[in-house]
Amino acid sequence: MNPINLFEQVNRNFDKAASYLPYSKGLLQQIKICNSVYHMTFPVKRDDGSIETIEAWRAEHSHHKLPVKGGIRYSPTVDENDVMAFAALMTYKCAIVDVPFGGAKGGVRIDRNKYSRSELERITRRYTYELIRKDFIGPGIDVPAPDYGTGPQEMAWIVDTYSMVNKNQLDSIACVTGKPISQGGVRGRVEATGRGVFFGLRTACEDADDMKKFGMRAGLDGKRVVVQGLGNVGYHAAKFLQEGGALVVGLAEYEGAIQNPKGLDVDAVFKHRTDTKSILNYPKGTNLPTSYAALELDCDILVPAALENQITEQNVNHIKAKIIGEGANGPTTSGASESFWKRGVMLIPDTFLNAGGVTVSYFEWLKDISHVRFGRVGKRFDEASHTRILRAVEEMTGKRLDEAKLKDVILGADEEALVNSGLEETMAKAYTDIRGIQRDHNDQMDLRTASFIDAIQKVAVAYEELGIFP
């Protein structure tokens, strides 16, 4: 269905990185291939009584660590090659942010706008049954999550279906992540991918030497940003970037795009789109005819956070941004990535930049298997010890802190604070790792290649230490 073979694109990036590494052909082949793909078709009853056949997939790319992990997308164009490619990206993504899972991805070929809520529920529950039947789901086997076209509601149906079948399984709630809080979800998961994009870009922009190469100052402050996609990833990325001091000068959706060199208010644009069903005609912006036109706007950072293959050899040379932050999976073809590299454009790859989602999914899974909310046990104790320390300082100095400030200082961390700080640490460390690999190679490779080197090395260790490959 997809005109560009996405798995081939991913593998081209893999091969480029592999050429720097000492591993045997056999080991590299084992890392690269997709271990198993389950292709299914099943009937679903529409509300009018007619029956429709739905086509769907689940691909498990690498079992070097279990469970395997990755979202489920509902899209009219998804195909087997796509899910294999996205599953592979999940393997590499998890490795880069040190999430101890293999990679997987699911796809259901539907346009969700053409189905009622109850039809979507029947499709989701039936898809889950199919996964259960073939052991393609389970807290220690394969743990799906939201992706393009799915969200907390679908995850709630999945956990409910799974738990009905696995009645006495203590950890059944950990069979899927991205659930509503009441169903075992974790605070901060919805915003996680967008927040991770923000943390990743902020870390990259903090490097004064790197920014100097573009004639820019360190930090996000005042940097002009364009975001393509106002879905869960794009909206949150744009919002956090704005809150972090960047100026959002362009926003794009599939119906068109808007710009304002003086800055757009992300929440106001989001509300305008919800109210009018279109991003166009926002009172404090100028319309652009297509989503693609926004990609070519004059800006410092471009964040494609919609779909794959948005930046190709056709439009890459029209793009003016100095930094590309891949919020979506596979938004830039490998040919276009090479053009960016030759032009000195800094591309921050999807394998790192959008890994915030799976990072917080990992936290959710940990919460579910431990059956306790983060912060529940320690919060009060921490607040009591902070108070004791403060009182001792007050005694020594003879000064007292006023009550309002006191609350701020002694505050123990709750679930949301812990999740967000774990995500911040993860993204900052992973960036330092991949930028370090790039430096070790005298900056003679792009960050995507460096990120693949990091991922391949980590997966290779798992196989080597298993003693399968010499």
75 binds ligand GLU (CB under 6 A): no
Q: Which of 105, 179, 223, 458 is catalytic?
A: 105
**Shortest distance in whole angstroms from residue 105 CB to ligand GLU:** 7
Binders of ligand GLU among 318-337, rule CB under 6 A? 329
Residues constituting the chain: 470
* Residue 250 or 356 having the CB closest to ligand GLU: 356
145 binds ligand GLU (CB under 6 A): yes
- Side by side, the strands of the sheet bearing 68-74 are 36-45, 51-60, 102-108, 68-74, 142-146
Candidates 32, 58, 69, 448; binder of ligand GLU (CB under 6 A) is 69
Candidates 18, 64, 70, 85; binder of ligand GLU (CB under 6 A) is 70
Residue 256 vs residues 103, 150, 252, 278, 327: alpha-carbon distances, Å:
33, 22, 6, 8, 19
Q: How many residues bind ligand GLU (CB under 6 A)?
A: 11
351 binds ligand GLU (CB under 6 A): no
**Helix or strand run (H / E) with residue 250:** strand 247-253
Candidates 59, 131, 132, 358; binder of ligand GLU (CB under 6 A) is 358
* Residue 14 or 74 having the CB closest to ligand GLU: 74
147 binds ligand GLU (CB under 6 A): yes
105 belongs to the catalytic site: yes
- Angle of helix 189-205 relative to helix 232-243, nearest 10 degrees, comes to 50
* CB burial readout 22-49, b (16+ within 10 A) else e: ebeeebbebbbebbebbebebebeeeee
Stretch that binds ligand GLU, among 11-19, 54-62, 350-358, 393-401 (CB under 6 A): 350-358
Closest to 103 (Cα-Cα) out of 150, 35, 2: 35
**Shortest distance in whole angstroms from residue 156 CB to ligand GLU:** 15
Alpha-carbon distance 102 to 62, whole Å? 5
**Shortest distance in whole angstroms from residue 10 CB to ligand GLU:** 13
Alpha-carbon distance 157 to 169, whole Å? 17
* DSSP assignment string, 340-368: HHHHT-EEE-HHHHTTHHHHHHHHHHHHH
Give residue number: closest CB to ligand GLU.
71
Q: What are the backbone angles phi and psi of residue 56, rounded to the nearest 5°? A: -150, 165
* Residue 62 or 329 having the CB closest to ligand GLU: 329
**Shortest distance in whole angstroms from residue 72 CB to ligand GLU:** 8
* Residue 38 or 86 having the CB closest to ligand GLU: 86
Stretch that binds ligand GLU, among 55-63, 313-321, 351-359, 396-404 (CB under 6 A): 351-359
Candidates 62, 172, 361, 451; binder of ligand GLU (CB under 6 A) is 361
Question: Omega into 67 within 30° of 0, i.e. cis?
Answer: yes
* Residue 224 or 236 having the CB closest to ligand GLU: 236
Candidates 67, 71, 106, 304; binder of ligand GLU (CB under 6 A) is 71
- Residue 198: HSE in the Cβ half-sphere, 13 Å Cα cutoff: 24
Alpha-carbon distance 169 to 464, whole Å? 33
In eight-state DSSP terms, residue 220 is: S
Stretch that binds ligand GLU, among 249-257, 357-365, 383-391, 457-465 (CB under 6 A): 357-365
Helix-strand-coil percent breakdown of the chain, rounded to 5? Answer: 50, 15, 35
From residue 12 to residue 41, what is the string marking binding to ligand GLU with x (rule CB under 6 A)? Answer: ------------------------------
Alpha-carbon distance 182 to 8, whole Å? 40
Binders of ligand GLU among 152-211, rule CB under 6 A? 177
**Shortest distance in whole angstroms from residue 358 CB to ligand GLU:** 4
* Residue 71 or 285 having the CB closest to ligand GLU: 71
Question: Can you list the alpha helix ranges (DSSP code H) found in 19-96?
Answer: 25-32, 80-96
* Residue 73 or 223 having the CB closest to ligand GLU: 73
102 binds ligand GLU (CB under 6 A): no
The pair of structure tokens assigned to 304 is 């494609």
Say if residues 357 and 363 touch (Cβ distance below 8 Å): no
**Shortest distance in whole angstroms from residue 96 CB to ligand GLU:** 11
From residue 242 to residue 271, what is the string marking binding to ligand GLU with x (rule CB under 6 A)? Answer: ------------------------------
* CB burial readout 377-412, b (16+ within 10 A) else e: eebeeebeeeeeebeeeeeeeeeeeeeeebeeebeb
* Residue 195 or 223 having the CB closest to ligand GLU: 195
Q: Please give the positions annotated as active site.
A: 105
| Residue numbers at the binding site for ligand GLU (CB under 6 A) | 69-71, 145, 147, 177, 329, 354, 357-358, 361
